[in-house]
Structure 1
Amino acid sequence: MKATWTDADFDEMGWHDCRVHALSIGVRDDGFPWQRVLFDLDYITRWVPPEDGTFTFWIAPATLVFDEAWDVTGDLAPANELLDLDAVHRLAPPDDRPDPLWHLEGHNFDLRLRAPGYTQYLRTEPVHSRHQYLPLTTRGGLSFAENPFS
């Protein structure tokens, strides 16, 4: 199992029904003007077909990072709803700048940003779950750590 994924792996990845526990939009620590957009999410590495009529899942807590992000826009549903990703789309640039448009489509949110790419770190090895998310105690709380498991 691979612990670090990048936009080069985009065609092999899928984020359907991945729970987003936290989102951070901020500037880099080194003074560059670019923003960093980070997601603390439960990444479903594998859907296990049902034996008893119900899917189960292999899930790992993960940090998805878009460095050098810009033109960040979006909408959130009412704050009492949980955030779940439906899909991440890589779209052609809408102008003459080279960075693609990333569209993170959620069941109850929509975020668009421009960035050259992303890195996703699985912070632990995946665990088997009956649910599409991990409890905070199992996943070690909230984190934007960029340390893949080894």
Structure 2
Amino acid sequence: MEKYELEKKIWTEADFKNMGWHDCRIYKIRLTDDLELDIDYILNWNKPDIEGLPFTFWVAPATLIFKKISNIQFEIDTAFDEAIDIEDIELNKSDNKFQWTIITKQGDIELEAEEFAQWIRQEPFFQFGQTISFIERCGFSLEQTIDQANPNRFRLDIVEQQKKDFEHYENVKKRQFKRKEKADLEEQRENGTIDLKDYLTKKKEIKEMLDYYDYWLKNTRFENW
């Protein structure tokens, strides 16, 4: 797996048009003169190599800060000890004021702030989902840093699980190829371009391989991929 090269590690309001927070998760909120958010920032949605498989992602723990805020309103329908998922962040400039709306799946946060900064605290993680586990990201943090220490990143059990996940993912791709092969075979049969004997032989071979992959992927995160 090639390393994801960060364009930059500190982003500001000057970068707003090039940023997006859809499906980014908020883990921690602190309200002082600023609004500080601990989030998983999705840097890239990776299109799958094989049609029909889900996207994968490059994700990094980040601290998002709106500075010197005023007129803040929370309309969040969730407990503050639960994660919040961002849909989008909108900016409206009116009467020399910067009005921000953090739209989440659980409600909105509205505020005024002249500037913001986002710190990418750690190197990005390649993820099969849109979030990083509590252990992998080394807990929650609101540090304003670009080199947050994370001793868990190279923990043996985590590295071994990542290795298993990649092995499972290879089987997912092979299974998807077999599913495509099965669909093509059925199309050949419908079009009458394959005789019954060859059709039944190939159908049996494909089923055996699909059963094999289903067996090895059962009770993994990839079972229903």
Runs ≥4 residues deviating over 3 A: none
C-alpha distance in 2 between matches for 1:71 and 1:138: 36
Quick one: which amino acid aligns to residue 121 of structure 1?
W
1 or 2, which has the higher helix percentage?
A: 2
1:132 is matched with 130
C-alpha distance in 1 between matches for 2:117 and 2:147: 14
Contact 1:83 1:109 in 2 (8 A): no
Contact 2:27 2:82 in 1 (8 A): no
Contact 1:103 1:113 in 2 (8 A): yes
| 1:139 alignment partner, SS class | coil
Unmatched runs of 5 consecutive residues or more in structure 1: 27-34
C-alpha distance in 1 between matches for 2:27 and 2:41: 11
C-alpha distance in 1 between matches for 2:28 and 2:82: 13
1:57 is matched with 57
Given the alignment of the two structures, is residue 21 of structure 1 paired with residue 27 of structure 2, yes or no? yes
Match among 45, 65, 81 for residue 43 of structure 2: 45
Higher relative contact order (CA 8 A, sep 6+): 1
Quick one: which amino acid aligns to residue 108 of structure 2?
D
1 or 2, which has the higher strand percentage?
A: 1
- Superposition TM-score, scaled by structure 1 size: 0.87
1:5 is matched with 11
C-alpha distance in 1 between matches for 2:90 and 2:105: 14
- Superposition TM-score, scaled by structure 2 size: 0.59
Aligned length: 139
Unmatched runs of 5 consecutive residues or more in structure 2: 1-5, 149-225
